[in-house]
Structure 1
Amino acid sequence: MSPRAWNSKITGIAFGGDYNPEQWPEEVWADDVRLMKDAGVNLVSVGIFSWAVVQPEPDRFEFDRFDRVLDTLAGGGITAGLATMTASPPPWLARLHPETLPVTADGTTLWPGGRQHYCPSSPVYRRYAGELVERVAERYGDHPAVAEWHIGNEYGCHVSRCWCDVSAADFRVWLQRRYGDVDGLNEAWSTTFWSQRYSSFEEVQPPRSAPTFPNPAQEIDFTEFGSDALLACFLMEKEIVNRITPDVPVTTNLIPMPRGTDPFAWAPHQDVVSYDSYPDPYEADAHVLAGFGYDLMRSLRHGQPWMLMEQAPSAVNWRPRNSPKPPGLMRLWSWQAVAQGADAVLYFQWRQSRGGAEKFHSAMVPHGGEHTRTFQEVRELGAELRAAAEVAGGRSTADVAVVMDWRSWWGLQRSSHPAVLEQFDAVTAHYAPLLGRSVAVDVVPPSRDLSAYKLVVVPNLYLVSEADAARLTAYVQGGGHLLMSFFSGIVDEYDRVHLGGYPAPFRDVLGLTVAEFWPLEDGGTVDVELAGTVTPATVWSEVVEPAGAEVVGTFTSSELAGGPAVTRHAYGAGVAWYVGTRLADGAMDALVGRVLAGAGVTSVLPGLPGGVQATVRSNDSGRYAFLLNHGAATASVPVPAATALVGPAPSDGRVALPPRGVAVLRLEA
Structure 2
Amino acid sequence: MVAKKLTLDTFELGACYYPEQWPEELWADDFRRMKELNFSVIRVAEFAWTIFEPTEGSFQFDLFDRAIDLAHHFGLKVILGTPTATPPVWLTHRYPEVLNVSNEGVTYHHGMRRHYNYSSPIYRSLCARITREMAMHYHNHPAVIGWQIDNELNCEINVFYAEVDHIAFRRWLIEIYKDLTKLNLAWGAVFWNQSYTSWDQVHLTRPSVSDSPNPHQALDEKRFISDNTISFAKLQADILREVAPLQWVTTNGIFGHLDSHKMTNDLLDFISYDSYPLFATTETSSDLNPLQDRKWGLNLSMVRAISAQFCVMEQQSGPGGWVNRIELPSPRPGQMRLWTYQSIAHGADMLLYFRWRTATMGTEIYWHGINDYHNLPNRRVEEVARVGRELASVGKLIVRTSFKADIAIVKDYDNEWDGELDTWHGPMEKKSLVAWYKSLQYRHIPVDILTYRIETTLEDLLQYKTLVYPHPTIMTDECARLFEDYVSQGGTVIFGCRTGYKNIHGHCNMAAFPGPVAELCGITVEDFTLIKGIYKAPPIKWRDQDNIKATHADMFNDIIRVQSPTVEIVAEYAAEYYAGKPALTKNSFGQGFAWYYGAAFNESVVGEIIKSLKLKPPIEAICDVPWQVEVAIRESKESSFIFLLNYSDQAETLFFKQKVYDILNERWLTGEVEIIAFDVIIIKLERQP
**Shorter-chain TM-score: what band?**
over 0.9
Secondary structure of the equivalent of 1:463? coil
Equivalent residue, structure 2, for 1:264 = 261
**1:259-658 aligned within 5 A:** 259-268=256-265, 269-280=267-278, 281-282=281-282, 284-301=290-307, 303=308, 305-317=309-321, 321-389=327-395, 390-415=397-422, 417-418=423-424, 421-447=427-453, 448-449=456-457, 450-521=461-532, 525-530=537-542, 531=545, 532=547, 533-548=549-564, 549-597=567-615, 602-604=617-619, 606=621, 607-609=623-625, 610-619=627-636, 622-631=639-648, 632-638=650-656, 641-647=659-665, 649-652=667-670, 655-658=673-676
Please give the alpha-carbon distance, in whole angstroms, between the structure 1 residues aligned to 2:597 and 2:530: 14
Q: Which of 58, 71, 74 is the aligned partner of 1:73?
A: 71
Equivalent residue, structure 2, for 1:208 = 206
TM-score between the two structures when normalised by the length of structure 1: 0.93
Please give the alpha-carbon distance, in whole angstroms, between the structure 2 residues aligned to 1:551 and 1:557: 17
Which amino acid in the other structure matches residue 452 of structure 2?
P
TM-score between the two structures when normalised by the length of structure 2: 0.91
Q: 2:425·2:498 contact (CA, 8 Å) conserved in 1?
A: no
CA shift in 2, pair 1:411/1:82, >3 Å = same
CA shift in 2, pair 1:522/1:324, >3 Å = farther
Equivalent residue, structure 2, for 1:120 = 118
Q: Which runs of 5+ in 1 are unaligned?
A: none
Please give the alpha-carbon distance, in whole angstroms, between the structure 1 residues aligned to 2:3 and 2:420: 38
Q: Which of 58, 61, 81 is the aligned partner of 1:60?
A: 58
User: Are 1:254 and 2:261 an aligned pair?
Assistant: no
Please give the alpha-carbon distance, in whole angstroms, between the structure 1 residues aligned to 2:224 and 2:657: 49
Residue 648 of structure 1, CA deviation: 7.0
Secondary structure of the equivalent of 1:413? helix
Which amino acid in the other structure matches residue 534 of structure 1?
A
Please give the alpha-carbon distance, in whole angstroms, between the structure 1 residues aligned to 2:374 and 2:530: 52
Q: 2:491·2:592 contact (CA, 8 Å) conserved in 1?
A: yes
Please give the alpha-carbon distance, in whole angstroms, between the structure 1 residues aligned to 2:29 and 2:16: 16
CA shift in 2, pair 1:402/1:192, >3 Å = same
User: Are 1:16 and 2:32 an aligned pair?
Assistant: no
Equivalent residue, structure 2, for 1:238 = 237
Please give the alpha-carbon distance, in whole angstroms, between the structure 2 residues aligned to 1:335 and 1:196: 53
Deviates more, 1:200-209 or 1:273-282: 273-282
Please give the alpha-carbon distance, in whole angstroms, between the structure 1 residues aligned to 2:86 and 2:563: 57
Q: 1:349·1:362 contact (CA, 8 Å) conserved in 2?
A: yes
CA shift in 2, pair 1:96/1:617, >3 Å = same
Please give the alpha-carbon distance, in whole angstroms, between the structure 1 residues aligned to 2:430 and 2:275: 15
Which amino acid in the other structure matches residue 451 of structure 2?
P
Please give the alpha-carbon distance, in whole angstroms, between the structure 2 residues aligned to 1:307 and 1:115: 23
Q: 1:481·1:574 contact (CA, 8 Å) conserved in 2?
A: yes
CA shift in 2, pair 1:552/1:116, >3 Å = same
Which amino acid in the other structure matches residue 528 of structure 1?
I
Secondary structure of the equivalent of 2:321? coil
Q: Deviations over 1:593-630 (max 9, x none)?
A: 32254xxx652554542232222223366332211123
Which amino acid in the other structure matches residue 13 of structure 1?
F
Please give the alpha-carbon distance, in whole angstroms, between the structure 2 residues aligned to 1:105 and 1:422: 27
Q: 2:498·2:558 contact (CA, 8 Å) conserved in 1?
A: no
Q: 1:430·1:459 contact (CA, 8 Å) conserved in 2?
A: no
CA shift in 2, pair 1:441/1:78, >3 Å = same
Q: 1:639·1:650 contact (CA, 8 Å) conserved in 2?
A: no
Secondary structure of the equivalent of 1:534? coil
Equivalent residue, structure 1, for 2:287 = none
Please give the alpha-carbon distance, in whole angstroms, between the structure 2 residues aligned to 1:224 and 1:64: 41
Residue 249 of structure 1, CA deviation: 0.6
Q: 2:104·2:206 contact (CA, 8 Å) conserved in 1?
A: yes
Q: 1:604·1:615 contact (CA, 8 Å) conserved in 2?
A: no
Q: 1:641·1:668 contact (CA, 8 Å) conserved in 2?
A: no
Please give the alpha-carbon distance, in whole angstroms, between the structure 2 residues aligned to 1:375 and 1:326: 13
Please give the alpha-carbon distance, in whole angstroms, between the structure 1 residues aligned to 2:644 and 2:420: 36
Deviates more, 1:334-343 or 1:421-430: 421-430
Q: Deviations over 1:317-373 (max 9, x none)?
A: 156642211111221121011111110222221110001111101201122434211
Equivalent residue, structure 2, for 1:92 = 90
Deviates more, 1:150-159 or 1:643-652: 643-652
Q: Deviations over 1:478-513 (max 9, x none)?
A: 321011111221211100112212111121111222
Please give the alpha-carbon distance, in whole angstroms, between the structure 1 residues aligned to 2:506 and 2:4: 39
Equivalent residue, structure 2, for 1:171 = 169
Residue 39 of structure 1, CA deviation: 1.7
Q: 1:366·1:375 contact (CA, 8 Å) conserved in 2?
A: no
User: Are 1:29 and 2:27 an aligned pair?
Assistant: yes
CA shift in 2, pair 1:174/1:641, >3 Å = farther
Residue 211 of structure 1, CA deviation: 1.8
Residue 300 of structure 1, CA deviation: 1.5
Q: Deviations over 1:388-412 (max 9, x none)?
A: 1221111134322221101111112
User: Are 1:659 and 2:663 an aligned pair?
Assistant: no
Please give the alpha-carbon distance, in whole angstroms, between the structure 1 residues aligned to 2:483 and 2:282: 38
Please give the alpha-carbon distance, in whole angstroms, between the structure 2 residues aligned to 1:116 and 1:522: 41
Secondary structure of the equivalent of 2:445? coil
Which amino acid in the other structure matches residue 257 of structure 2?
G
**1:184-199 aligned within 5 A:** 184-199=182-197
Equivalent residue, structure 1, for 2:286 = none
Residue 275 of structure 1, CA deviation: 0.8
Deviates more, 1:32-41 or 1:315-324: 315-324
Residue 207 of structure 1, CA deviation: 0.7
Secondary structure of the equivalent of 2:165? helix
Please give the alpha-carbon distance, in whole angstroms, between the structure 2 residues aligned to 1:421 and 1:156: 22
Q: 1:276·1:308 contact (CA, 8 Å) conserved in 2?
A: yes
Please give the alpha-carbon distance, in whole angstroms, between the structure 2 residues aligned to 1:538 and 1:170: 42
Please give the alpha-carbon distance, in whole angstroms, between the structure 2 residues aligned to 1:528 and 1:620: 44
Please give the alpha-carbon distance, in whole angstroms, between the structure 1 residues aligned to 2:657 and 2:413: 38
Residue 196 of structure 1, CA deviation: 1.0
Please give the alpha-carbon distance, in whole angstroms, between the structure 1 residues aligned to 2:326 and 2:74: 39
User: Are 1:147 and 2:145 an aligned pair?
Assistant: yes
Q: 1:477·1:574 contact (CA, 8 Å) conserved in 2?
A: yes
Please give the alpha-carbon distance, in whole angstroms, between the structure 2 residues aligned to 1:353 and 1:102: 27
Q: Deviations over 1:48-89 (max 9, x none)?
A: 100012211102222111111101110111111111111110
Identity among equivalent positions (%) equals 29
Deviates more, 1:183-192 or 1:432-441: 432-441
Please give the alpha-carbon distance, in whole angstroms, between the structure 1 residues aligned to 2:601 and 2:153: 36
Deviates more, 1:587-596 or 1:170-179: 587-596
Residue 641 of structure 1, CA deviation: 4.7
Please give the alpha-carbon distance, in whole angstroms, between the structure 2 residues aligned to 1:638 and 1:220: 51
Which amino acid in the other structure matches residue 172 of structure 1?
R
Secondary structure of the equivalent of 1:398? coil
